[in-house]
Each structure stands twice: as C-alpha cells, then as structure tokens.
Amino acid sequence: MRSFLLLSLAVVCALIATVQAGQNWAVLVAGSDGFYNYRHQSDVCHAYQVLKKKGIPDSNIIVFMKDDIANNPQNRHPGVIKNTDNGENVYPGVPKDYTGEDVTPQNFLNVLLGKDMNGVGSGKTLKSTSEDRVFIFFSDHGAPGLVAFPGKMLYAKDLIQVLTQMSKEKKFDQLVFYLEACESGSMFNKLLSDKLRIYATTAANPFESSYACDYNSEERAYLNDCYSFNFINDTEAVDVQKESLSEQFDVIKALTTQSHVCRYGDLSIAKQPIGNFLGNSFKYNYNGLFNRQRPVPAPKGTANRKGISSRDVKMDWLVRQVSAANDVYERTYFEKELAAHKRDQDVADTIFGAFSDAFELHKVREAREIRLNGSNDDRCTSDNAVDVDCIKSSVEEFEDACGKVNEASIKYVAYIRDACEAKVPSQIMGEQFKKTCSLLNH
C-alpha cells in the first residue's frame, strides 16, 4: 500500500512538473495609426512593461504597433509615451517586432499560427506548444464582426478560424484574449466555442462603443482606453498568484462604467490566477485562494472618471487641437483637418442614411431592441451572433464602391450588420453602395 501511495505521489508530482514546464507567451497589438489614436499604442506599451515585470521574457512577447506616436512631430515630448497623468514613460524597451507597414491582419494571423515570418519585421512568431499558455491583447477601433488595422480590417470570421485552428493543432494549453474595441463582444459572442480552451473578455458588448479616458492637455491626447487601463492597472497592482481571472473581470467590470465588459468562451479558465497568463508564475490547480474584498482603486485623480466614446475621439481631438494651437499656422492646419473630417462624416451619414432607408433597417433595429429588452440576459450574449460571412463580403462591397472604411464610416458597419440580419444579399448591398457613391462622386 505504501509503495502504491509513493508511486501515485510520484505520478502527481510528474504531472505538476510537466504542466509547470510550459511557457507563457504574449501577443500585443495596437491596430491604429495617427496621433489622435495615441491611447492604443500607449495601452500596448504599458501592457508590455507590466507583463515583463511579471516575468514574461522578451523572447516570448510579440508586439505589433505602427510606432508613429513616440517620435511623432505632434508629440511634445519625443520618445515619451504615457498611459496616465503624471505616469512613467512606457515606451522604452518595447520590442519593435512588427511596425509601420508590417502591422496587418494577415501578419497577425500568421504570427498566431507560428508561420515562417522570415523577412517580415523581426520575424518573431508564436512558437507555443500544447504545454504553453498564450495571452493576446488587442487595442483598436472595431465594429460588428471586425476590428481595425491601419487601412485594413480583421474580420471575426478569420480570427475565429485561426483560433480554432490553433486549438486543433495544439498550439497552446489554454489561451486568454483581452480585446479593446467598439462592439468588441461581436467578435466572440456565439462564435467562440467553449471547447477550444480559450477565455476572452471584451471592453464592450456587441452593440456599443468602448471608451477613451484621460485626455491630457500637456500631451494633447487621450492617454488610455478605460477598459484597457483598468485591467493593466489591476495586473500591475496585485499579487498575480493570488487573484483569479474571474476576480479581475469583476474589478474591470466595476471600474469600466460606460460600456459593458463581457466574457466568452471557456469560463472555467477564469478560476486560474492571472499570473498563469499575464505573468510567468504558474500555479497548478488553483482553486480561488484569494478573495478580494474590494476593487483595486484607480490611481489618484482617475476614480469615477468619465471617458468619451471612441467613435467621437477624432472629432473631439481635432476641436481641442484648434483651441490649443500655439500659432496661426498650427491653428490653420488643424482647422483644415477638422473640416476634412466633418466632410468625411457628412459623406458617411449620407451613404448610410440612404442605405438604411433603402432596406428599411429601422425595422430591424426596433425589433432587436424589443427582443433585447425582453431578455433576462445581459446584452453580452442575449442576441444572435453576427453573420460573419455576410459582414465580411458586404464591407468589402462597400469598400469597392465607396472607399476604405475610415473613422467616419466605421460606426455604420452596424447598419451592414442590420442588413445582414434582414437577409439582404451582399451583392444587393453593393449595388446600393455603388448607386449612392457614384452620385456623390459626380
């Protein structure tokens, strides 16, 4: 009997050792460009600093960012990126794996799949195995069924396919995905299977904007996104071996007051400590040993802070730059930029106003509100998944007819979602876009 017990103990210890032998990997993505989008790269830079501090080595952290903020002519402190008022410079040391034109959806997906990236950026790619844990953080603009890269879109259809393939090919033991974007819940809602060993949280449900926080008049930028700042600040402040992902979710949800933080996938993963993914301090068979009594408070001056819808940031930012201009030349420049953005917004309003009228999409929206208001669930999971095939093909129809989705038009992808829900074929949508945009171009 004693021999049997010793043998059993040896087997358990071997299993623990095997699990603990796995590595932690992180992929961090800022999908935007332009100084008015300062916050996305700021979030990613700060996340990098925290993950490294918590023990993940540079060799296992892969960073995508345009890298046009730190030394941007509009940056009054060259080489400096801050994520909070009076905060430290979070830019030094951040890996320049994929910058500039290499920040694309396809490169991101190829990196996740561990494909050969020789000759592209640093060439670093995800080399995780079935014993490893992967953390992905993505910060940028979004819309139903997509998130943005500079000039291009990453569609839910393609992301879910790649995550599913990674799971089937055993490229991780478990994966955690934190996503900051408008309508980010739509990327996972009823699309991400709970059988894939993936746990995801999002800054917003499938129907609402996420929010930018902390406009700083000295830096002349929004320094962070509310959801992103809340999870990064929490991770930095706590013992990552003693707080679970579920407890962190509760903290983020409590502090992110203007959008609804959601979670999807395999929720059993949330029982583990955050250090299993946002650090390098794996604990085998964690059972919720720590129970936080209250959320980690936001830094002084940021508690109960109010953000601005990400949809409104560019307009708000340009108005602020006109007001804060130091001379007539700078004011004239920003006045022209503001006028151009207003023209873009007027064009988008016209295109999608006609689009909505043509297919009577107000009826779809009204029916959805009745359905959602009558549901006992929250809006994270209470409606149908987006039609990923229809969204992708219809957005491409729009771009063929009217030009690239931009800051002014991205919010109207919600109208395309409505048309998909009404079973309007993508080709018919394309004909409507061509009709309206050809008239606008004459």
Q: What tens digit of pLDDT does each residue of 407-421 get?
A: 999 999 999 999 999
Choice among 45, 46, 182, 402 that is catalytic: 182
153: Cβ–Cβ under 8 A, 6 or more apart, which residues? 105, 146, 147, 395, 405
Which portions of the chain are predicted below pLDDT 50?
Answer: 4-7, 10-19, 285-303
Q: What is the pLDDT of residues 273-331, one digit of tens each?
A: 999 999 987 765 444 444 444 444 444 444 456 799 999 999 999 999 999 999 999 99
Instruction: Mark whether 111 and 249 lie in a shared domain.
Output: yes
Choice among 40, 45, 46, 141 that is catalytic: 141
How would you class 322 by CB atoms within 10 Å of its CB: exposed for 0-12, middle for 13-18, buried for 19 or more? middle
Domain count within the chain: 2
State residue 12's pLDDT score. Answer: 45
State residue 304's pLDDT score. Answer: 53
State residue 374's pLDDT score. Answer: 84
Does the residue 237 lie in any domain? yes
State residue 300's pLDDT score. Answer: 43
Instruction: Mark whether 214 and 354 lie in a shared domain.
Output: no
In degrees, rounded to 5, the angle at the alpha carbon of residue 267 between the alpha carbons of residues 266 and 268 is 90
Nearest CA to 97 out of 117, 69, 124 is that of 124
Which domain does 337 fall in, by range?
325-440
Quick one: which H or E segment has residue 152? Answer: strand 152-155
CATH no. for residue 350? Answer: 1.10.132.130
Distance between CA 374 and CA 67 in Å, rounded?
46
State residue 335's pLDDT score. Answer: 98
Phi, psi of 202, rounded to the nearest 5 degrees: -130, 155
Is beta strand 174-180 parallel, antiparallel or unpaired with respect to 152-155?
unpaired
State residue 280's pLDDT score. Answer: 87
Distance between CA 184 and CA 186 in Å, rounded?
5
Instruction: Mark whether 345 and 211 lie in a shared domain.
Output: no
Q: What is the pLDDT of residues 168-195, one digit of tens each?
A: 999 999 999 999 999 999 999 999 999 9
Instruction: Mark whether 257 and 332 lie in a shared domain.
Output: no
For residue 390, indicate whether it is catalytic.
no
Does the residue 385 lie in any domain? yes
**What does pTM read for this prediction?**
0.92
State residue 282's pLDDT score. Answer: 72
Nearest CA to 202 out of 266, 149, 138 is that of 138
For residue 182, indicate whether it is catalytic.
yes
Strand arrangement, sheet containing 24-30: 61-64, 24-30, 133-139, 174-180, 198-202, 262-265
